[in-house]
Amino acid sequence: MLQEVAVIHATLPIRAPVPAIVNDHNRLRLFSGSANVPLSMEVARYLGLDLGPMVRKRFADGELYIQIQESIRGCDVYLIQPSCHPVNDNLMELLIMIDACRRASARQITAVIPYYGYARADRKTAGRESITAKLVANLITEAGASRILAMDLHSAQIQGYFDIPFDHVYSLPVILDYLTSKNLSDIVVVSPDVGGVARARAFAKKLNDAPLAIIDKRRQAHNVAEVLNIIGDVKDKTAVLVDDIIDTAGTICKGGRLLREQGARQVYACATHAVFSPPAIERLSNGIFEEVIVTNTIPFNEEKNFPQLRVLSVANLLGETICRIHEDTSVSSMFR
């Protein structure tokens, strides 16, 4: 059973929904794929809506069947479906949902993708490789999506792979709200690699201009990284490691261990997307971190739980973004 792990709902500095606008049932429709139904239900609750009725089943040969069970002609449809594990099944389900809505004459189809799978395959690093993130963008566009809403892309350039409007939102307010409530002192924000410096710098700026440190690492192969050195002062400080994805947790655990060796008093790990591929749980629960703070863009079950885990909900943030898109008001102003 999904969503057995306790989810913390941060108090975000965003307004409450306006039912007279959000409940415009002549236009706004919200549907959920099977990838993360609990998150979709939370988003619907924030908007004051019910998830639209839909039939989803598999045939004996594994093919997927989807039917929208209400009229959406002329409606603005929002389809919530992260392309997490099993990524290919969830991606195909999203494509079929988009196609069904397009053929049902929806006015606008927004694919809400809290976690964008294949985002790390965003460029060629060797000969004869696929840029799969671009391929996925082509598939979603060709299926009939007219807009994309995604959260914390691994690479911001993925927005440019789409020739349709793209709203890129961040979990930063949710994680910051939680950390602020803990009243931590002597914080230093740490980027796990040079590529994440911009993300860590933005995070540090919001944490009262906290100092920044960088872990210098060299990646030897896929899912294999060697941590070399820390650039910056972490001795006797509370180190907050900030990343977008925790997959096998090799990089972030090596970084956390090095921070301890360099004299950090406490070490917290923060990430938006908790992929948690084996052996991530064993690595993260071995006592390196005071807490591992993630969000619910990817669903959780009890098998992924461990004492240091803290799961924050991004449902209100996504719901507010949907509301603003529907009302044609600013999305970026939420993050200023």
DSSP 209-222: S--EEEEEEEEEET
Sequence-ordered list of residues with C-beta below 8 angstroms from that of 65, at least 6 positions apart, any chain = 55, 56, 57, 58, 59
- Residue 66 main-chain phi, psi, to 5 deg: -135, 135
How many whole angstroms separate alpha carbon 32 and alpha carbon 90? 11
> Any idea of the CA torsion for 141, 146, 149, 152, to the nearest 10 degrees?
30
Q: Active site includes 217?
A: yes
Which of these is catalytic: 124, 205, 206, 217?
217
Q: How many residues does the chain have?
A: 336
Where would I find the H helices in the chain? 19-22, 37-47, 87-103, 132-143, 172-181, 197-206, 250-261, 280-284, 315-327
How many whole angstroms separate alpha carbon 40 and alpha carbon 81? 8
45 burial via Cβ count (<10 Å: 0-12, 13-18, 19+): middle
For the chain, the first-to-last Cα distance in angstroms comes to: 38
In 3D space, the residue among 5, 222, 191, 32 whose CA is nearest the CA of residue 125 turns out to be 222
Q: Are 148 and 167 in contact (CB under 8 A)?
A: yes
Beta-carbon count within 10 A of 109 CB: 27
What type of residue sits at position 255? G
Angle at 301 between CA 299 and CA 303, to 5 degrees: 135
Residues annotated as part of the active site: 217
